Amino acid sequence: MNEPSENFEEGILIQMPVKIRLATLEKSIQQKLIGQQLQEEEKENSSFATVTSIFLHSHPAYDLQINLGLSVKTFLFKNKNINLEMLVNFEYDSQLQELTIKEYKAQGNQKTWFSNTLINVLMNSLLHKKVLGKSKFFLTPKINELLKDINEKLEHILELKKGVLLFGKLTEFHVNSLYFKENHLIAILKIKGALAAEISELQDF
C-alpha cells in the first residue's frame, strides 16, 4: 500500500467544498448595507446617496450581478431614487487569502437613454474610489477569529451526537479557492489539526 504524500501526524487533513447560496449572502449584505450612506471621502458629512435595496444574481459573463437601489442627493438627481446594475469580476489569491475586485461596471436601469447616460457617467465616477479604491478583502482576520472560536469550543469537548465526543485543536484553516458558480459562492477549504473522537455509545442503525 502506498504511503500518503501528506504528513498526517497532526491527526487530520480535510479538504472540502462549502457552498453558500447567493440568497444567504444577499440577506447578510442587506442587513449590513441597507440604510448606509455613500460619502465622498474628501468631503466630511457629505453623502451623495443612501442604499435603499440590494440584490445578488448570477451572470453569464461576470462573477456577480448586483442590483442596487439608491436614493441620490446630487445636483443632477436630487432626492431621486435610481436603480443600478453592477457587474463584478473577482480574483482570489490563495497564498495571501485575499479576494480582489478585478473589474466592474455600473449601468443605470432607468426608462430614458439620457437618464441612463448621466447615471453611468456619475456613478462610475463616484463609485470608482468607493469600489476599486477599497477593492481588496483580506480573509485572514476572519479566519483567525473563526479558528479561535472553534478551538474554544473544542477545549470543552463537543458532543456531536449522543455518545460521540470530539476534542482536540485545529492548527490550520485555509481557503484554497473561492469562486462564484451559478447561484452559489463556493469555498474550497483545507483544515488541519489534532482531533480525536471518543464513542461511548453505539446506537442501533
Confidence of residue 196 (pLDDT cuts 50, 70, 90): confident
Cα–Cα nearest to 194, from 160, 163, 155, 162: 155
- The separation between CA 168 and the C-alpha centre of its own chain, rounded to angstroms, equals 29
If 0-12 CB within 10 Å is exposed, 13-18 middle and 19+ buried, where does residue 167 land?
A: middle
Confidence of residue 61 (pLDDT cuts 50, 70, 90): very high
Quote the pLDDT of residue 116: 53
Confidence of residue 114 (pLDDT cuts 50, 70, 90): very low
H-type alpha helices, the chain: 22-33, 113-131, 140-155
Containing 21, the helix (H) or strand (E) segment is strand 12-21
Instruction: Quote the DSSP letter at residue 134.
Output: G
Confidence of residue 108 (pLDDT cuts 50, 70, 90): low
Quote the pLDDT of residue 112: 53
Q: What is the C-alpha to C-alpha distance for residues 136 and 100, in angstroms, rounded to an integer?
A: 5
Quote the pLDDT of residue 118: 52
Give the least confident one: 101-115, 163-177, 183-197: 101-115
Is there a contact between 88 and 99 (Cβ–Cβ < 8 Å)?
no
Q: How does pLDDT run across 145-168, given as a tens digit for each residue? A: 888 888 888 888 877 778 788 888
Question: Cell digits for 86?
Answer: 453592477
- This prediction has a pTM of 0.70
* pLDDT mean over 93-105: 87
3-state secondary structure of 76: coil
More confident residue, 2 or 100: 100
Quote the pLDDT of residue 1: 40
Quote the pLDDT of residue 175: 92
Distance linking the first and last C-alpha atoms of the chain: 32
